[in-house]
Each structure stands twice: as structure tokens, then as C-alpha cells.
Structure 1
Amino acid sequence: MESKRPHVCIVAYKDLRHNTRVLRQARILSLRGNAVSVIALGMPPQVELERCGVANAITITGAMWHRDWLLAVGSRLWKVAPTRMHEFLELSLLGWRASRLAVRGKLRLQCFAQAVLRANCADTPFDVVQAHDEHALIAACLLAEKSGARLIYDAVEMTHEPEYWRHEPVAVRVIRSAEMAIERRILRDLDGAVTVNDSLADHFERTIGGMRPLVLRNCREFEPEAHDRKIRVDLGLSDADRLLVFINSIWPGEGAEVLLHALAQLPGRVHLAFLGPEGKTGYISDLMKLAEHLQVQSRVHMLPVCAPTEMIGYMSGADLGVIPRQAHHQNMVYSLPNRIFELIMARLPIAAASLPEIARLVSEYDIGQVFDETNSAAMAETIESMLETETLSHFKKSVQSAAAELCWEREGAHYAKYIESMADGVQNSAKR
């Protein structure tokens, strides 16, 4: 008997204009004949939703207003208040927030959850509801219960990482603690789970009752090799120049400073292009000041953000991708970021931090080398050796093979079958 094609709803407490994983999941499911709905805080253009086969896209607006107001006002007061006022301000903000919660009767993510339920006003029956990341768990759980659907958790990173909240105001920590208590109860009663690499699968197998999540890496959809020189033309570089690219959001903690110090130790023909949005206001300016101090500002280029559909072809004109990510907390240590698969699809060899999942992939497919991400001299030495003609040619051949294997068409097929098996009752959890 042919398996039932489920109606899947993916719930994300994110703006999907900047998230390609959910859209790739929607596309692979729709290509196999499944109906897909997506509920999120923001959506990409309609043409992209249609390409991904999203039958119903619902944008939740206003769910974050109270939290954003609290953080914005609180941070400004904190900067200008005398030290003796800090405790008073924290208690005042906590009291304001508590009173608002008492009136509304809900926490921040519960507000989002109720908005999700209201948005599904037609009472669309879903077979599977998937929570994208921990912040969507409460909403997805309520929607799954309402629909009698299976609940799946897409764990893109370790849940409840304390480092993220340690320096937040008291009010935010209290609210988040209450939300996490609810999320932990939900995690104990999941029907299935998906995550991005083996290290996280091991972690969740230990923490969510022995269930091992399906590993679904963030591979990109296959693209033919581009041979695009536009990035070199834009930067005024010749074929004799060597171009390194640092892609995705430009945040503190991603090793940009160490990379600039490494660039200062490399030959003058080596240039570095940053290709991504600024993650923290003023951070790019700080990096350029450091570049000027190191006297490499003429070799550092901050490029405009590319559309996701143009990124692969545009950066294919570079010579090498660099991932200098720092091991500041567990989610960084065990990460396998989107950028590694984007660099592979652009056919760029990779010089990367020696973090376990990144190092494992680079070694397994022989697509580059790893370095001590805290040591600029070691980073420079690795990059310079990889830029040697014979070495670079070797890694380019390897990355060609890797691009054919590490593509979403292959990776996503396992995910689609897993989701379909939920509706078929193949997994061991009963319908909610």
C-alpha cells in the first residue's frame, strides 16, 4: 500500500528571509508530493515560497514586541544609569514585565504559540508539525496537540545553552528560565527529532530519552560549477592575486580578528573579502580599524550582502574559503555551519578551525586543511601552504567530488522519508 503523503507544518520563531534550512526542507517535501505549510516571523519573497512549494505561508507579527521593547529600553537605561541604580532598574523592569505577564497570562514564547494557534484559524489538519529550533517548541507542541499530529523537533543547535543568557538582565533570565522548563517537558514527549551533525545527535540521544535524531546536514542544493569572475572584477583583482572569502554573518566570536592578524603575515598578493551582513552594529567598523592598525586595509574588502540564490556563483571566483570560528561555547565547538556547504558548492577548498565536526568533514572529503583557530601564525601558515599551486589544484579536484555528494538532493531525501514515515505510523510514537 502506498504511503500516505502528509501535510507538514513547519513552525519557526525566526525570519525566514535569512534562513534557508526551512525552505530547503519545504522544497524537498513538496517535490515528493507532500503539502507543506510554514508559520514564521518573516517570509522570503512569494516567488521563493512558490519555488519551494509552500502551500500556505503564515507570518506572525507583533509576537516579539514586548521583549524587544524591554531589551531596547533596558539596555539604554543600563548604559546611562549610575551603578547604584542598576539594581533598582532591574527590579523595576522585572516588575513591569511581571505585571504585563499577569495581565496577558502568557510568557513571550507562549504569546507566539497563541498567535500561531489563532493564525491557523481554518483549523487546518496537519499530520506532522515540526518545530524549527527550541524557540518554536511551545507553539509547535500546542499546534500538534490541536491537530492530532506527530511532533518533530529540528534541533539545529544544543538547547538551553547557558552562555546565551548569562549576561542578560534579570527579567530576561527569569522569563527564559520559565520557558525552558516548559520546553524540557516537551522534549521528553517528542515523536521524532532531526539535527545537523553526529555530535549533536549523540548529545540529544543522551538528553531526550534515548531517541537518536536523524542527522540532516545543511547541504546546499546542487549547482553546476560557476567559473564566475565577477567578485574579482568588483574588487579589481587580477588572476595572479589570491582571494580568501569569509562568508555569512559577521559576528564577534567567528574569528575575524584572528584572521586579520593572519592576513598581515601573508604575502601582499593575498586579499580577504567579507561577504555577509553585519551581525552587531559597529563591528565592521571595528574590524576595519584593526585592519588599518595592521596595515592590511587595502587588502580587506567588505562586500554587499548577496541574495542566497546568487551567493554560490558570486564567491566561486575566489581561491579559498576560510572558517576561523572560535570555540567560545558548546554550540560553537560542535557546529557544522551552513557556510562549509556553501563553500563546497562554490567549489572552494576550505581552511578551517579545528573544531571536531568541521575538521571531520574537511578530512573525510580531503577538501582542505585545519588550523589552531586561536593562533594567527598557524592560520597564516596553513593558508599559505594551501595557496601553493599544486596543493590548491589537489583540493579543487577533491571539492568537485564533494559537491556532487554533499548536495541537498541526496541529504534531503532521507529527511523526507523520515517525515513521511511519521504519518504512516512507522515510528513508535502514537498519534497525539
Structure 2
Amino acid sequence: MKKILIMSEGDPTRDPRPNRFIQHFSQNNSVHVLSDYPVVMPGVVSYSFKQYLSTDNKIKNKKNKRINIEFIIKPVRLALGIMKVWWFIFCYFIGSLSFLYPEKTLLVRKVAKNDYDLIISHDLTLLPLAFEIKAQKTRIILDAREYHPLNYQDQWFWRLEKKPFLLMLCRKYLHQCDMILTVSRGIADTYHQRWGVRPEVFMSLPDSFAIIPQMPKGKIHLIHHGWPSRSRQIELMIYMMDYVDERFSLDLMLLPGTDSYWDQLVNLVSTRKNVRIIPPVKMQDIIPTIKKYDIGVFIVPPVNLNLKYSLPNKLFEFIQARLAVAIGPSPEMQEIVKKFHCGLISEDFSPKTMAELLNRQTNESIFLLKMNADIAANELNNGKSFNALESLLKDLWKPDMRT
């Protein structure tokens, strides 16, 4: 039995990837979790930087009347972000990067007394704290789910505020990690080309579910779920519904936003009869909820490197729910879809092209794709992926395994 610390900036009860790590490793190890939010899971010790504040997730499909203050918030955030970069530079040169998080220092000192065998950080920005906690025997794994220095490269605001900070973190810590994981081969290759490290690909696969594929009946129901980030251009899937025939309807199961982009999506949906926004469900309920649909849709233009090489949770959740998949020509996703013949791949990322592809489908052709998704689901689940990771971990404590 190992003593393992899992670190996450977000809420591990709502973030699928950290949650799966906690669930898996807590079966046979002593697992502690250090995150911004408290974690209540059997047998898990939780350390949280702040208390979780619940929010009202009710969706109102009407125009939001609040005053938009983004023009005030963004300059303030930018100024604070630039100050943080210069503070990081100062900490970097005096050799004490823990100064970056003065409000977290006391808790980190307490956690460091636990003498961990393994620390898994799900965020690059937590690596300074991970190395403060590290004991001599401790091995550190970075789960670099994305290529962090280019995460929102399409947004000038992010490039000024975050990018320099992330580049310096990569320069300081990547070579000190004992193992690096990431979600796709394209992102792994980018890390290798830029920094000389060799991440292991660990796809974001869901639990296995016993679901029987169903033939479409009546309307053909499309589903998309996730976070409505401006970079993901959710509006393209809404525009797509202007070109499909009357057989199709689209549900968007989105986490509510608080910015002008969310208002834009709500307004676009309100003017269309074949699209609606539905409330999100708990992470563990996603697959049981979406299994009633026919096709999972995700059109995401490659506006930044991470979206280009995206291999997201939702793709595998579509497959595990035994849905046909409809995607644009994203290289990593289309490799999965082609391998299992479980979906449709449009020639480009335009709404009209995808709509025309959907219009050519029949109930029978969609059912065949759902049957192929059933075959794929038996392979693409986290049981098999964690077995592969455990094989890698067996040699982690050998000196020659250090990245």
C-alpha cells in the first residue's frame, strides 16, 4: 500500500479525470486529496484551500438582464496577472517558488508531514507546491491534460496574463517530474518537441456501462454536453441546426456561464425551435442521461493547439452511452472514430457541411454506428486504461525511470 497525494485546483467531485484517479487509487492505497474544494469520498483524506460554495445551476432560456461588467473585470485581471508573472520571476531567481502561494503555505507545511510515496498533480500550476511537499522517497507525476503554454492561445488576454507564467513553470519543473501524462499523442509530441520530455498518453476514459444500443425512433436526437468556452465555438452546432431536416433536434447540456458568451448562446437558442439548453447533471449521471439520444455532436475548430489535438471526455462518454458520434476532422478524435467505425466525420468544421452529412443518414445507418460504438465501449473504458497505468507505475521507483 502506497501513501498517495492527489492535487487539483478545481473540484475533484466534478472534474472527471482527477475523480477517476481518486476512485482508482483509493481502492488499494491511502489517498489524500489537496484541492481548492473539500472532497467527501469513502476512505479519502481531504485538504481544501477554501470551502465549496454551491451555486444555483438552473437554466433560464431568456435574455439575461444583468449589467455586463467584463470591460471592468478584464483590465483588473490582466493587471493582476502581469503582477503575478513578475512576482514569479522574483521567486524564481531567489529559489523559493512557494512564495507564489502565501495563502496556502500553512496548509502545505501540514500536508508535507505525511511523507508521501507518490504525488499526482493534475495542474501544472500546483507543481511548486508539489515539490515543497515532496519527501526524499516521493515520486511526482504531472497529469498534463493539455499543452499548458498554448492552452488558450487564440485569446490575446490569456497570452498576456497566463502564458509567460506557464512557460516558466514548464522550464523549471517538467524535467524534475518522474512521469508526465497527457490525453493524446499530438499533445505528447508537442511536449517532447518543445521541452524534450516524453509524456505517456493516458486517455480520459469513463467507467464501463452495460447499455444496449437502440434504433432511432421518430426524431433523431442529438446531444452535446460540456463547458461553454468561447474557444470551443458552441454556436457552430446551433447554426448547424438551421440546415438539418425536420427529423433532427439538438439538446445542449451546458454548465451555465456568467459572461457575454453565455448570453449569446442563450439568445441563439431562444430563436430556434429545434435546439434547447437543458440543465447539467452530476458527472456520474452523464452517461445514464445521454444514453437516450442517438448522436453525440462535437464540432470544434482547431483555434488553438489543445483543441486541434483534443481527445475529450465527451467523445468517450458518447461512445460509452452507445451513441453514434458526429465530429469535424479533428485528427485525434477522427482516429478513434475511424478505428471503430462508430461515427460521422465531416470534411470541414462548417455547420452546413455537418448538417448535410447528417441529412444523408437513415435510422438504419445511425443504428449501425451505435452498434459499432458498443464494440468500442468494451475497449474504451477506464478499467483497461488504469491497468496500463499500473504497469508503468511498477517501475516508477527505479532511478532510470525518471523523465
**The two structures share one fold, judged by TM-score above 0.5:** yes
What one-letter code is carried by the residue in structure 2 that aligns with 1:8? I
Distance between the aligned counterparts of 2:73 and 2:402, measured in 1? 54
Q: What are the equivalent positions in structure 2 for 1:258-297 lying under 5 Å apart?
A: 258-293=236-271, 297=272
Q: What are the equivalent positions in structure 2 for 1:147-166 lying under 5 Å apart?
A: 148-161=137-150, 163=153, 166=156
User: Deviating runs (4+, > 4 A) in structure 1?
Assistant: 75-78, 88-99, 105-109, 226-229
Please report how far the alpha carbon of residue 389 of structure 1 lies from its aligned counterpart in structure 2 after TM superposition.
1.8
CA contact (8 A) 1:263 1:380 kept: yes
In the alignment, which of 385, 393, 396 is matched to residue 367 of structure 2? 393
Distance between the aligned counterparts of 1:43 and 1:215, measured in 2? 29
Please report how far the alpha carbon of residue 351 of structure 1 lies from its aligned counterpart in structure 2 after TM superposition.
0.3
Quote the residue 1:37 is aligned against: 32
Distance 1:10 1:264, change over 3 A: same
Given the alignment of the two structures, is residue 324 of structure 1 paired with residue 299 of structure 2, yes or no?
yes
Q: What are the equivalent positions in structure 2 for 1:9-88 lying under 5 Å apart?
A: 9-31=5-27, 33-44=28-39, 46=40, 49-50=41-42, 53-54=43-44, 56-61=45-50, 78-79=71-72
Distance between the aligned counterparts of 1:196 and 1:23, measured in 2? 15
Distance between the aligned counterparts of 2:77 and 2:200, measured in 1? 45
Quote the residue 1:212 is aligned against: 198
Distance between the aligned counterparts of 2:378 and 2:316, measured in 1? 11
Provide the identity percentage. 19
Quote the residue 2:382 is aligned against: 408
Please report how far the alpha carbon of residue 35 of structure 1 lies from its aligned counterpart in structure 2 after TM superposition.
2.1
Q: What are the equivalent positions in structure 2 for 1:7-406 lying under 5 Å apart?
A: 7-31=3-27, 33-44=28-39, 46=40, 49-50=41-42, 53-54=43-44, 56-61=45-50, 78-79=71-72, 109-111=100-102, 114-120=105-111, 123-144=113-134, 146=135, 148-161=137-150, 163=153, 166-168=156-158, 172=161, 177-178=164-165, 180-209=167-196, 211-225=197-211, 239-293=217-271, 297-386=272-361, 388-406=362-380
Please list the CA deviations of residues 161-204 of structure 1 after superposition, one character each: whole Å capped at 9, or x if unmatched.
1727731596x45xx63564244211122211111111122222
Give TM-score scaled by structure 2 length. 0.83
CA contact (8 A) 1:274 1:301 kept: yes
Please list the CA deviations of residues 43-65 of structure 1 after superposition, one character each: whole Å capped at 9, or x if unmatched.
45x2xx22xx53x2211129xxx
| Structure 1 unaligned blocks of 5 or more | 63-74, 230-237
Q: Which segment is superposed worse, 280-289 or 195-204?
A: 280-289
Please list the CA deviations of residues 211-243 of structure 1 after superposition, one character each: whole Å capped at 9, or x if unmatched.
4222110000101116799xxxxxxxx931111
Please report how far the alpha carbon of residue 159 of structure 1 lies from its aligned counterpart in structure 2 after TM superposition.
2.2
- SS of the equivalent of 1:268 reads coil
CA contact (8 A) 2:213 2:371 kept: no
Please report how far the alpha carbon of residue 93 of structure 1 lies from its aligned counterpart in structure 2 after TM superposition.
9.5
Please list the CA deviations of residues 24-53 of structure 1 after superposition, one character each: whole Å capped at 9, or x if unmatched.
11222233x222221111145x2xx22xx5
Distance between the aligned counterparts of 2:296 and 2:80, measured in 1? 48
Please list the CA deviations of residues 395-426 of structure 1 after superposition, one character each: whole Å capped at 9, or x if unmatched.
01100000111010001111133234324x27
User: RMSD of the TM alignment (CA)?
Assistant: 3.5
Please report how far the alpha carbon of residue 94 of structure 1 lies from its aligned counterpart in structure 2 after TM superposition.
6.6
Quote the residue 1:232 is aligned against: none
CA contact (8 A) 2:7 2:123 kept: no
Aligned residue pairs: how many? 382
User: Which has more helix, going by share of residues?
Assistant: 1
Distance 1:219 1:290, change over 3 A: same
Structure number with greater Rg is: 1
Quote the residue 1:69 is aligned against: none
Distance between the aligned counterparts of 1:40 and 1:23, measured in 2? 12
